[in-house]
Chains A and B, each alone.
Chain A
Amino acid sequence: MNAPIQPPKWATRLLHWFCASHLVNDLEGDLLELFVQRVRTQGPREARRRYVRDVLSLMRPFALREKPGKYPKPASTQPAMIRNYLKIAFRNLVKHKMFSFINVLGLSAGMTACFLIALYVHFELTYDVFNQKAARIYRVAADVKTSSETLHYAISPWAMASNMQNDFPEVEAFARVQKETTLFRKGDLKFMEENAVLADSALFRVFDLKLLKGNPQTALAAPLSLVLTETSARKYFGESDPMGQTLLLGTESEPSMVTGVMQDPPVNSQIKGDIFVSMSTYTAHHDKNIEREWGSFGATAFVLLKSGADPAALERKFPAFMQRHAGKLMAEQQMQIGLVLEPLRDIYLHSSRTTEESGSINNVYIFSAVAFFVMLIACINFVNLTTARSVERAREVGVRKAVGAAKSALARQFIAESILISVIAFFLSILISAALIPGFNMLAGKAISKGMVHEIPFVACQFGVALLTGLLAGIYPAFVLSSFEPVKVLKGRFTTSLKGIMLRKGLVTVQFAISITIIIATIVMYAQLDFMRSYGLGFSKDQTLVVEAGPGRERDAFEATIQNYAGVRSAAASSEVPGSWNPQAYSKLENKNGEMQAGNMDVYRIDFDFTQQYGLQLLAGRAFSKQFHTDSTQSLMINEAAAKALGYRSPEEAIGKKFDQWGRQGTIIGVVKDFHFKSLHETVKPLTFRIIDFWNGQLLSVKIDGKNVKQTLSAIESQWKTMHPDKPFTYYFLDELYDRQYRADERFEALFLNFAALAIFISCLGLLGLASYSTVQRTKEIGVRKVMGASAASIVGLLSRDFLQLVGIAFVVAAPLAWFAMHRWLDGFAYKTDIRASFFIAAALLSTFVALATISFQSIRAALMNPVKSLRSE
């Protein structure tokens, strides 16, 4: 006989889903009976159709409502029950100390990483946000277009501010700031203030910087007025009132009056400084003509627009504005100056114009991703460890079910346990984070947080995240554990499902794939930094001391004295040294076609000894020489890149060609082989050399003997003090200065190294848990094998093989990902290391080794166990 015709299964399932439990039995009976009759009388098709229709027609209130039970149902949220859940959860934690320890440790490590990164990301994203008018504040930046290139400056022409305020009614206020290292003196106290800032009087109107004493309208109005931050006020005046007091400003020691004291600016503000000097000190006192200059760039200009003003409309008026005021100049110098408005809040993270302080939105993304993945690894651990222990707890579940626990009650029990673990991990992670914050600040190079006390909202958020993590990570294990069938479990015929094992293995693979990717990334970063540090730069930077010796005759006198010292080999003066900032000059040079090619070129102002001291190699012509007295006014040296930019095929062709730069005209006398005067992030740009003027060349490079560095240094210092008792001795080592350009990269690497270590650590905790679980599972198998004569080594191999396979798969997944990502990262460098196969091998070996070491904790113990013990229990 054919199989009896069945009604549609889905309809039956639907019925069971919606129908109240006390009705479902007889309703289904009726449905079935009618169906069977109808199959006979009306045929299977019609019967099925009617069946579905009947099921649907049963979706009525009476069928949905459960019958009120005989006994009052305990509410799931009864306090007694919750207390019970927590009590049982706590007992379980205490009972399995090792397991709980691994679980809590892994989770809190992940949470700590997440917390710190969240602090960092929040810090970066809220840059300048404290300004209430931030939405109306724009930076006016300048694009300078010459015949050869376009330069993007963050600064703008000096003449722009006052003209803009006159011409555009949309402008509410204008504030320029310019950081300048300045000498300050008060009696015997003298400080070279690196964070002295020239600022317009509208500073306090545009930005929300709080003035504690003094009038915000006038504090920075008059020349030679100073506003101190609280910190610097304390530094100079201690507890006494600084208002109206005098400090001596600059090398000329001009008396300046303190007209205000302000709160220290927030750390994540672009406007930062220790002492604010009125801008008029410069524009109305030191250089009275500067505000008429359109071709002279300086100061970062911020404009506050009136509310309702349209920045795009304003921007469209700029070309006409520039043409009106600077048209003549631009035509003469064959360049176009364009002005751009950049919203204040976008500058720090999004603007590519070079400024003292800039963040990178990419770093924010990268670290957010790292935080996410570290947390993911930690959660995977949690799921893995909990489900792996299901065997142990299967009996408990069986007994609980047998005495009447509902599935949902059991699930709640397990979720309570996982939330308890994650809350414990949360408290631990807060403690660890609090301890790590100072170190993290140092690592990031920023005062990201002042301490845990200041981060209460963050802690609250993190607590929310911890609860959520506990809930999410607990759901799967709770579901698996609570769905065991009591009969099977209690009979002891318990086997873990293949699906469960596959899932756990898959999760471990994901963990390791993430860890290996981060490890490879770290190795590549390290290789790149190493590559940059050891790269042939084209000049010698070893054992060179750079002293800020001041200009002109003072320096010459100092130089002459110290050159007699035993430890000093040679000395040379210049305004720029490799790794330092250098200016750009509007220059016209004769190119291959005989035309005067105009453009902004990097300038090094050097003395006659510079090329020799720095070991620069001459390709053609000659270096500056004292024998040619015209050299100081009519000669220019260029580098190879400049010769190429002018179209010359060989350096020799450039010799004797004409130049016109910064008031000097004459001929090119020499071509120097390219050397890296900037970091290896960029290619070598065209560079010109000229002899220093008497007012510049403040930097004295002193080459000293490798032996007795300390002695030589202190001798030079005491000489400085006798010659200049009123000035501090400021010096640095050239290699340090140059490598400072890689500080951001080094920080990045250091942060990555830490997170890589963390990721592999958490992954190993997961592996440890899994390994211990599977060895327990196979105790009997191992016993039998040993009885049959297997050696301990072969058993360790057997247990390790499975896990090494997982690491292998993880590697296969991770390697191409890491390769791709790091290729992208290396694109940010003009000179880069190759991604070598050895990096991958190193990462693979490292992760294999770590995994093996982790597994061996368990596997060796299992292999050495006496088989009598494991088999006796049967």
Chain B
Amino acid sequence: MKGTYLGEFEEVVLLAVAILAGDAYGASITNEIEQQMGRSVNLGAVHAALHRLEEKGLLSSRLGGATAERGGRSKRFFTVTMAGTKALDNIREIRNRMWSAIPKPA
């Protein structure tokens, strides 16, 4: 099924939203990813991924509070949906299974 496959960057963004739990919006997600991965990320890429994830039903969003730092502009907060959590679990399970399948060096 087309809708459920997650790309590498999408997975990272989804994880970042989960980490930030309730305080996830464009700027904070970008910062989180940059810190976690140690590389610079374009805002455009992040938003594109957020948009796609929302379309797949893995994220939901609502408009929320503005701060002076943002020139009084509102934030769009993202939260991981049930489907999103399931997808993350799913990926993790597959990874774990695969890790454990690696033959231990003698």
In the complex, chain A residues 254-290 whose Cβ is within 8 Å of any chain B Cβ: none
State whether B51 touches A30 (Cβ < 8 A). Answer: no
Interface residue stretch chosen among A33-41, A116-124, A395-403, A430-438: A33-41
Interface residue stretch chosen among B1-9, B13-21, B37-45, B83-91: B37-45
Whole-angstrom CA separation of A31 from B76 in the bound complex: 13
A490 at the binding interface (Cβ < 8 Å)? no
State whether A32 touches B71 (Cβ < 8 A). Answer: yes
Residue on B with the closest CB to A56? Answer: B44
State whether A32 touches B73 (Cβ < 8 A). Answer: yes
User: Which B residues lie within 8 Å of A34 (CB)?
Assistant: 27, 30-31, 43
State whether B69 touches A26 (Cβ < 8 A). Answer: no
A57 at the binding interface (Cβ < 8 Å)? yes
Whole-angstrom CA separation of A58 from B50 in the bound complex: 12
User: Which B residues lie within 8 Å of A14 (CB)?
Assistant: none
State whether B75 touches A60 (Cβ < 8 A). Answer: no
0/1 string, A51-74, CB within 8 A of B gives 1: 001101111101100000000000
Majority secondary structure of chain B interface residues (helix, strand, loop or mixed): helix
State whether A60 touches B69 (Cβ < 8 A). Answer: no
B66 at the binding interface (Cβ < 8 Å)? yes
Majority secondary structure of chain A interface residues (helix, strand, loop or mixed): helix
State whether B43 touches A30 (Cβ < 8 A). Answer: yes
In the complex, chain A residues 739-769 whose Cβ is within 8 Å of any chain B Cβ: none
Report B79 CB to chain A, min CB distance, Å: 15
Residue on A with the closest CB to B50? Answer: A62
User: Which A residues lie within 8 Å of B73 (CB)?
Assistant: 25-26, 28-29, 32
In the complex, chain B residues 19-49 whose Cβ is within 8 Å of any chain A Cβ: 25-27, 30-31, 40, 42-45, 47-48
State whether A29 touches B48 (Cβ < 8 A). Answer: no
Whole-angstrom CA separation of A569 from B48 in the bound complex: 108
Pick the contact of A26 from B31, B45, B48, B76 — CB < 8 Å?
A: B76
Say which size band chain B's interface belongs to: 20 to 34
Interface core residue of B40, B71, B75 (most chain A CB under 10 Å): B71
A27 at the binding interface (Cβ < 8 Å)? yes
State whether B40 touches A60 (Cβ < 8 A). Answer: no
A50 at the binding interface (Cβ < 8 Å)? yes
State whether A57 touches B42 (Cβ < 8 A). Answer: yes
User: Which B residues lie within 8 Å of A58 (CB)?
Assistant: 43-44, 47
State whether A30 touches B26 (Cβ < 8 A). Answer: yes
State whether B47 touches A62 (Cβ < 8 A). Answer: yes
Report B44 CB to chain A, min CB distance, Å: 3
User: Which A residues lie within 8 Å of B30 (CB)?
Assistant: 30, 34
State whether B75 touches A54 (Cβ < 8 A). Answer: no
Interface core residue of B48, B63, B66 (most chain A CB under 10 Å): B48
User: Which B residues lie within 8 Å of A33 (CB)?
Assistant: 27, 67, 69-70
0/1 string, A4-45, CB within 8 A of B gives 1: 000000000000000000000111111111101100000000
Whole-angstrom CA separation of A34 from B74 in the bound complex: 14
Report A23 CB to chain B, min CB distance, Å: 8
User: Which A residues lie within 8 Å of B42 (CB)?
Assistant: 53-54, 57
Whole-angstrom CA separation of A29 from B63 in the bound complex: 12
Interface residues of A (CB under 8 A from B): 25-34, 36-37, 50, 53-54, 56-60, 62-63
Interface residues of B (CB under 8 A from A): 25-27, 30-31, 40, 42-45, 47-48, 51-52, 63, 66-67, 69-71, 73-76
A-B contact pairs, 11 of them (CB 8 A): A26-B73, A26-B75, A32-B71, A34-B30, A34-B31, A50-B40, A54-B44, A57-B42, A60-B47, A62-B47, A62-B52
